[in-house]
């Protein structure tokens, strides 16, 4: 399993959001892409990047426009987070609706 995983739940429709492209970036002096994937039929990305990452600042970028449509309010959702324990697993889910989103550190 990847060090970082995610899933997207469509709270307006009441089901997982499948097919959303997701990018994992690392921050050094600037952002660099580590991995890309898309949510599966269960709205999950289980294989996103390496099995371990060093401590640092990362972000997940969700291309929500591809899921919500071209005239959506939220064409992209970016969630930046810090890895402090390189041995721990980091699960970063997103609860998505047409006009809002929320996130948390999952398990």
Q: Is 91 annotated as a binding residue?
A: no
Q: Where are the beta strands (DSSP E) in the chain?
A: 4-10, 15-16, 21-27, 31-38, 44-45, 56-62, 77-83, 90-91, 94-97, 100-103
Provide the 10 A C-beta neighbour count for residue 76. 12
Q: Is 90 annotated as a binding residue?
A: no
Instruction: Give the CA distances from residue 82 to residues 11, 47, 79, 90, in Å, rounded to whole numbers and listed in that order.
Output: 26, 19, 10, 10
Q: Is 58 annotated as a binding residue?
A: no
Residue positions forming the annotated binding site for substrate: 7, 44, 104
Residues annotated within the binding site are: 7, 44, 104
């Amino acid at each position: 399993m990847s060090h970082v995983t995610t899933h997207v739940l469509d709270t307006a429709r009441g089901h997982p959001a499948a097919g959303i492209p997701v990018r994992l970036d690392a921050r050094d002096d600037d952002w660099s892409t580590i991995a890309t994937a898309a949510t599966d039929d269960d709205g999950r990305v289980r294989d996103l990047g390496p099995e371990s990452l060093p401590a640092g600042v990362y972000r997940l970028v969700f291309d929500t426009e591809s899921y919500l449509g071209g005239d959506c309010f939220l064409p992209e959702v970016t969630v930046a987070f810090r890895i402090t324990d390189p041995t721990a697993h980091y699960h970063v889910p997103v609860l998505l609706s047409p006009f809002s989103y929320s996130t948390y550190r999952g398990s």
